[in-house]
């Protein structure tokens, strides 16, 4: 049985462009890392993700993954149970056999938010809250081929922007929201977009900035290890309080916390679902952060000023 881990594997680039991983120094295991290391010793290029105590080899599947290969590669060596539960319908790993086993991180298992929001996911699913969503989230018809075709037609053809680019980037943003490594080499992919993408997204990009930039960030080594993924979504997202007739302006993304907790949920359910999310937050001692558009703008600008000053002071100290 593999012990709980408190880090992730590092990836090195080889000439053949295939992912290469090293388990030296970067993966800290408490207990005997038998299954994980044994498998990697004979499958050097394998991408292993941890779900509910089982290691799954997703190497051959990564280029067919609807959320993109990069997301699976970034999930290598991690316990991604909550992400898999939140992003998929039913038992997505049915038919897959684990290649090894591990003990889930104790800090995550003890967090009441983990169970509460997973139970809420089941409640929403039983009530039909996940039926029909956006084509770029692969959930309009629940047929992967048709949904991706719709994304190509309405995204790539009519708007001139690659639906697969948006989908892959957006899924990674949802999985690793406001996450950065401790050396500053890896950041939330959607928080560092090229200028052309920011201009194209327009009001949507403003919404993303207000929902995230004024909120705390999580170190990559802590996510799903000492910080539960559901808890991290509440801490890294901000809702914009608006009357119901203004939801159209934000595209429903003014309810950003429920959007990140349950990305498969269609936006017409957000306002109703947020009431239950608020109740669960109160039960587990969390605050669902929400404020007006102007206050969110002020908080974001104030936070950016504070970060800029800290960076400037750090440069002067050298």
Tokens representing 87 are 């992003």
Residues in CB range of 187: below 8 A, 6 or more apart: 179, 180
The reported pLDDT for the residue numbered 103 is 86
183 and 96 Cβ atoms separated by less than 8 Å: no
At 202, phi and psi to the nearest 5?
55, -120
The reported pLDDT for the residue numbered 256 is 94
- pTM for this predicted structure: 0.76
Instruction: Compute the distance between CA of residue 100 and CA of residue 33 in angstroms, rounded to an integer.
Output: 10
Q: Which of 214, 261, 41, 68 is nearest to 148 (CA)?
A: 68
The reported pLDDT for the residue numbered 10 is 32
The angle at the Cα of 173, spanning 169 to 178, to the nearest 5 degrees, equals 145
In the chain the domains, ranked by start, together with CATH numbers, are: 10-104 (3.10.120.10), 114-131+183-316 (no CATH)
- Per-residue confidence of the chain (318 residues) as pLDDT tens digits? 333 333 333 333 333 333 343 332 233 333 335 788 889 999 989 999 999 999 999 999 988 888 888 889 989 988 999 999 998 887 889 889 999 998 888 888 889 999 999 999 999 999 999 887 444 445 555 566 676 666 666 655 555 565 666 676 778 888 888 887 766 556 666 556 565 565 666 667 777 788 988 888 888 878 888 888 999 999 999 999 999 998 888 888 899 999 999 998 999 999 999 999 999 999 999 999 999 999 999 999 998 888 788 878 777 776
Alpha-carbon distances, residue 72 vs 61, 80, 84, 128 (angstroms): 9, 10, 11, 28
The reported pLDDT for the residue numbered 135 is 43
Instruction: Compute the distance between CA of residue 237 and CA of residue 293 in angstroms, rounded to an integer.
Output: 14
The reported pLDDT for the residue numbered 276 is 97
The reported pLDDT for the residue numbered 15 is 34
The reported pLDDT for the residue numbered 191 is 58
Instruction: Compute the distance between CA of residue 228 and CA of residue 206 in angstroms, rounded to an integer.
Output: 27
């Amino acid at each position: 049985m593999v012990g709980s881990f408190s880090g992730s594997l590092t990836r090195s680039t080889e000439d053949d462009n295939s992912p290469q991983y090293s388990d030296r120094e970067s993966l800290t295991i408490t207990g005997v890392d038998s299954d994980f290391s044994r498998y990697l010793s004979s499958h050097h290029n394998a991408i292993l993700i941890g779900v509910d105590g089982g290691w799954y080899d997703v190497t051959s599947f990564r280029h067919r993954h609807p959320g993109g290969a990069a997301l699976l590669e970034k999930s290598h060596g991690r316990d991604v149970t909550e992400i898999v539960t939140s992003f998929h319908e039913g038992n997505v790993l049915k038919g897959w056999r684990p290649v090894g086993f591990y003990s889930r991180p104790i800090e995550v298992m003890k967090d009441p938010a983990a169970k509460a929001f997973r139970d809420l996911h089941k409640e929403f699913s039983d009530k039909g809250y996940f039926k029909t969503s956006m084509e770029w989230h692969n959930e309009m018809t629940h047929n992967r081929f048709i949904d991706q075709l719709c994304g190509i037609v309405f995204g790539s053809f009519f708007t001139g922007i690659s639906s697969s680019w948006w989908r892959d980037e957006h899924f990674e943003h949802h999985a690793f929201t406001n996450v950065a490594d401790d050396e500053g080499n890896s950041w939330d992919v959607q928080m560092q977009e090229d200028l052309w993408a920011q201009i194209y997204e327009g009001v949507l990009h403003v919404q993303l900035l207000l929902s995230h930039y004024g909120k705390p960030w999580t170190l990559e080594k802590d996510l799903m290890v000492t910080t539960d993924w559901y808890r991290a979504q509440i801490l890294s997202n901000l809702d914009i309080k608006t009357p119901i007739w203004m939801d159209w302006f934000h595209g429903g993304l003014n309810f950003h916390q429920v959007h990140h907790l349950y990305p498969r949920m269609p936006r017409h359910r957000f306002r109703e679902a947020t009431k239950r999310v608020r109740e669960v937050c109160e039960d587990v001692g969390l605050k669902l952060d929400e404020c007006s558009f102007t206050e969110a703008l002020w908080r974001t600008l104030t936070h950016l000023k504070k970060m800029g000053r800290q960076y400037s002071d750090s440069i002067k100290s050298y």
